[in-house]
């Protein structure tokens, strides 16, 4: 008969099997590499040995770069979460709005590739072709994990389509990515209680009800303990505005919770930080040089077109993710 | 020309909102230009777009049937939540007085489990009954029933036996006309020019229909108790 302690120990043993396996692989591969290196000095065996040497080196590198990180990095707290992305045009007027439209297309294509379900919740489309602001849901596991580092100011340097003199302009788009929280999840995470939320609805100045048939149904929520307010008027009914407002409140509270947890764990200075300074430029898209540079990890990608097509952006997202995971491992070591 | 007039009528923010909604509703039979022109003329946006979100439903609209109000949406949802929170051993019967688009009973039907509600809505307006019936088909209340019947509940003989309206009912709801004569003269033209006065005007002091409802509910309506059971259980 197994006791609960036995079962727990068995579970732990089972969980550490992959680590044991990986470590054994590492030790045996390293040993084999050492032996092969010795053989390189022998002129008769050198050619054969160098082939083996190459292969073993590759295996070793693979174990270090891929297998260990996958096992050692703790599973993401948010790996199942979907994402809520808000894009707002910043500096640059209509050109910023045009670029926002381009970014929107980029993310929608990236979503297709990653098999997330993208849903444009609201968008302010200008008649001149740009998008002034937009809110998009990306539904699917891993969406938040992948997109969370897109929060910040994206800067574009290019000659606007409308520009006659061929002068390069710099415009910006501000992006905020929040976790998209289902109602059941909001309750489970204990993000808020209804008693703490003040709900204000649009009231007409005089009598309401049958006296007026205006379409204004704005709602404002105030989460009293945190002071977070959410105002929503994009939808045509009070009920819809309330629902969206509560959803955004849950997202903001979850983001705040995650940031607190991240801050608490942070030991390494090198960590990717989600800047509280909303004006931090995280990435520059330079059309003349066909290059996209992410300033946080110093990564430059030479194929801007591929980025905007939603493909090469994946490389940037993966690099950001890897950087974050590496710093998580550093935290682990520092503990 | 139309655009700037509309912007000054509505204000920038409201215009921006309505413009987005209009653009989303564009169709071959409803071009943007027409929507803007009708809106500038003062027609309520809800009639132009032809539908209004009401709780989780989309209620079809047609002038002059009264446009569902946000206050009504709010209490109808609360009522549905209260009803849903208690277990019921048999389907509840519901009567909606002055049903208009049918939005109140349809909302309750859609928010309660299938088979838990059987609702009837009455309205004096032929157009309302027709529209409510269309909405019933569109909303298909999934196992709960709703039908609209033409009748006036100011009529001392309401409910006539041949209406198929059989008291007593578990629930009686109403958003009856409650605007007084004086108030009616002060209303904005977007209301008075487009929405049915019969849905708004509640008599000199606005309370005619409340008196009627109270009388129906307590059975004090008629000398002859033979025709009137208490309307409510």
Amino acid B230: pLDDT: 45
Residue among A141, A157, A151, A183 at smallest CA distance from A259 = A151
d(C-alpha A38, C-alpha A335), whole Å? 38
Q: Cis before residue A67, ω within 30 degrees of 0?
A: no
| Predicted confidence (pLDDT) at residue B231 exceeds the cutoff of 70 | no
Provide CATH 3.30.70.1660 ranges for chain A: 82-268+275-329
Distance of CA A30 to the CA centre of its chain: 36
Average pLDDT on A287-310 reads 93
| Predicted confidence (pLDDT) at residue A66 exceeds the cutoff of 80 | no
CATH of A82-268+275-329, one of 3.40.50.2300, 3.50.50.100, 3.40.50.620, 3.30.70.1660: 3.30.70.1660
| Predicted confidence (pLDDT) at residue B209 exceeds the cutoff of 70 | yes
Mutate to test the interface with B, among A215, A219, A246 (most CBs of B within 10 A): A215
**Nearest Cβ partner of A237 from B23, B52, B195?**
B52
CA-based nearest residue in chain A for residue B71? A209
CB interface of A with B, residues 179-208, below 8 Å: 201, 207-208
Q: Which residues of chain B does A208 touch, with a Cβ-Cβ cutoff of 8 Å?
A: 69, 71
Cβ–Cβ gap A239/B190 under 8 Å:
no
d(CA A232, nearest CA chain B) in Å: 12
- In the three-class reduction of DSSP (H, G, I as helix; E, B as strand; rest coil), residue B232 is classed as strand
| Predicted confidence (pLDDT) at residue B223 exceeds the cutoff of 50 | no
| Predicted confidence (pLDDT) at residue B194 exceeds the cutoff of 50 | yes
Cβ–Cβ gap B67/A216 under 8 Å:
no
Specify the higher pLDDT residue, B194 or B87. Answer: B194
Amino acid B198: pLDDT: 94
Q: Cis before residue B168, ω within 30 degrees of 0?
A: yes
Q: What is the mean pLDDT of chain A?
A: 87
d(C-alpha A124, C-alpha A322), whole Å? 34
Cβ–Cβ gap B191/A217 under 8 Å:
no
Amino acid B220: pLDDT: 56
A247-283 pLDDT, tens per residue?
Answer: 999 999 999 988 888 777 765 555 566 665 667 899 9
Q: What is the mean pLDDT of chain B?
A: 89
Exposure string (b/e) for B144-172, b if CB count within 10 Å is 16 or more? bebbbbebbbeeeebbeeeeebebebbbb
In terms of DSSP bridges, do strands A152-158 and A281-286 run parallel, antiparallel, or are they unpaired? parallel
Residue B196 contacts A, CB cutoff 8 Å: no
d(CA A305, nearest CA chain B) in Å: 30
Q: Which two tokens stand for residue A35?
A: 């032996």
Cβ–Cβ gap B69/A217 under 8 Å:
no
Q: Which residues of chain B does A236 touch, with a Cβ-Cβ cutoff of 8 Å?
A: 21, 52-53
Amino acid A62: pLDDT: 83
A303-317 pLDDT, tens per residue?
Answer: 999 999 999 999 999
Instruction: Please report which confidence band the pLDDT of residue B228 belongs to, taking 50, 70 and 90 as the band edges.
Output: very low
Lowest mean pLDDT among A6-20, A278-292, B152-166: A6-20
d(C-alpha A12, C-alpha A14), whole Å? 5
Residue among B92, B113, B114, B88 at smallest CA distance from B173 = B92
d(C-alpha A230, C-alpha A245), whole Å? 6
> A283 near A213, Cβ under 8 Å?
no
CB interface of A with B, residues 226-245, below 8 Å: 233-240
CB interface of A with B, residues 95-124, below 8 Å: 122-124
| Predicted confidence (pLDDT) at residue B221 exceeds the cutoff of 70 | no
pLDDT over 70 percentage in chain B: 93
Q: What is the pTM of this model?
A: 0.81
Q: Which two tokens stand for residue A106?
A: 């980029």
d(C-alpha A86, C-alpha A251), whole Å? 12
Average pLDDT on B10-24 reads 92
d(C-alpha A306, C-alpha A291), whole Å? 10
> A171 near A91, Cβ under 8 Å?
yes
CA angle B164/B59/A206 to nearest 5° reads: 105
A210-239 pLDDT, tens per residue?
Answer: 988 888 889 999 999 999 999 999 999 999
Alpha helices in chain B (DSSP H): 2-10, 12-25, 32-40, 45-49, 70-84, 103-111, 126-139, 181-186, 189-192, 208-218
Average pLDDT on B143-171 reads 88
CA angle B84/B90/B92 to nearest 5° reads: 60
Amino acid A305: pLDDT: 93
CA-based nearest residue in chain B for residue A214? B44
A99-138 pLDDT, tens per residue?
Answer: 999 999 999 999 999 999 999 999 998 888 899 999 999 9
d(C-alpha B221, C-alpha B185), whole Å? 31
Residue B11 contacts A, CB cutoff 8 Å: no
DSSP state for residue A77 in the 8-state scheme: T
Residue A128 contacts B, CB cutoff 8 Å: no
Q: Which residues of chain B does A201 touch, with a Cβ-Cβ cutoff of 8 Å?
A: 70, 74
> Burial level of B38, CB count in 10 A (0-12/13-18/19+)?
middle
Provide DSSP, B36-75: HHHHHTT--HHHHHTEEEETTEEEE--TTSPPPPHHHHHH
Distance of CA A253 to the CA centre of its chain: 17
| Predicted confidence (pLDDT) at residue B27 exceeds the cutoff of 70 | yes
Mutate to test the interface with A, among B52, B70, B73, B74 (most CBs of A within 10 A): B70
d(C-alpha B157, C-alpha A292), whole Å? 78
Specify the higher pLDDT residue, A150 or A261. Answer: A150
């Amino acid at each position: 008969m197994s006791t609960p302690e036995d079962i727990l120990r068995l579970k732990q043993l089972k969980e550490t099997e992959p680590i044991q396996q990986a470590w054994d692989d590492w030790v045996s591969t390293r040993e084999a590499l050492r032996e092969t290196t010795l053989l390189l000095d022998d002129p008769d065996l050198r050619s054969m040995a160098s082939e083996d040497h190459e292969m073993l080196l590759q295996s070793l590198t693979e174990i270090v770069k891929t297998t260990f990180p996958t096992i050692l990095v703790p599973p993401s707290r948010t790996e199942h979460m979907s994402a809520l992305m808000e894009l707002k045009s910043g500096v640059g007027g209509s050109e910023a709005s045009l670029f926002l439209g381009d970014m929107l297309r980029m993310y929608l294509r990236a979503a297709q590739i990653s098999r997330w379900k993208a849903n444009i919740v609201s968008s302010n489309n200008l008649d001149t072709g740009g998008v002034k602001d937009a809110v998009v849901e990306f539904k699917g596991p891993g969406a938040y994990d992948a997109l969370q580092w897109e929060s910040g100011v994206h800067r574009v340097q290019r000659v606007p389509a409308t520009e006659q003199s061929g002068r390069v302009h710099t415009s910006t788009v501000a992006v905020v990515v929040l976790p998209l929280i289902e109602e059941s999840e909001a309750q489970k995470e204990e993000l808020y209680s209804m008693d703490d939320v003040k709900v204000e609805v649009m009231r007409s100045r005089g009598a309401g009800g049958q006296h007026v048939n205006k379409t204004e149904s704005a709602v404002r929520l105030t989460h009293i303990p945190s002071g977070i307010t959410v105002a929503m008027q994009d939808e045509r009914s009070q009920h819809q505005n309330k629902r969206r407002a509560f959803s955004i409140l849950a997202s903001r509270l979850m983001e705040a919770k995650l940031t607190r947890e991240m801050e608490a764990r942070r030991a390494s200075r090198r960590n990717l930080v989600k800047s509280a300074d909303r004006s931090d430029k995280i990435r520059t898209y330079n059309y003349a040089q066909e290059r996209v540079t992410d300033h946080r990890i110093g990564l430059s990608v030479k194929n801007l077109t591929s980025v905007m097509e939603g493909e090469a952006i994946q490389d940037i997202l993966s690099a950001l993710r890897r950087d974050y995971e590496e710093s998580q491992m550093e935290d682990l070591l520092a503990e | 020309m139309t655009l700037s007039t509309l912007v000054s009528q509505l204000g920038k923010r409201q215009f921006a909102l309505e413009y987005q909604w209009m653009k989303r509703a564009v169709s071959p039979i409803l071009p943007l230009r027409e929507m803007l022109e009708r809106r500038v003329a003062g027609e309520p946006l809800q009639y132009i777009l032809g539908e209004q979100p009401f709780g989780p439903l989309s209620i079809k609209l047609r002038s002059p049937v009264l446009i569902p109000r946000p206050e009504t949406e709010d209490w109808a949802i609360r009522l549905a939540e209260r009803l849903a929170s208690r277990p019921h051993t048999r389907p509840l019967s519901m009567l909606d007085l002055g049903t208009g688009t049918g939005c109140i009973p349809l909302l309750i039907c859609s928010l309660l489990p299938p088979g838990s509600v059987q609702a009837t809505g009455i309205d004096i307006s032929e157009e309302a009954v027709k529209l409510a019936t269309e909405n019933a088909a569109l909303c298909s209340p999934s196992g709960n029933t709703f039908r609209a019947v033409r009748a006036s509940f100011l009529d001392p003989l309401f409910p006539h036996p041949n209406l198929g309206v059989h008291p007593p009912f578990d629930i009686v709801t109403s958003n009856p006309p409650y605007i007084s004569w004086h108030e009616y003269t002060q209303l904005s033209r977007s209301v008075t020019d487009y929405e049915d006065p019969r849905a708004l005007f509640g008599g000199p002091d606005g309370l005619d229909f409340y008196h009627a409802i109270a009388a129906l509910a307590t059975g004090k309506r008629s000398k002859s108790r033979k025709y009137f059971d208490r309307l409510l259980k």
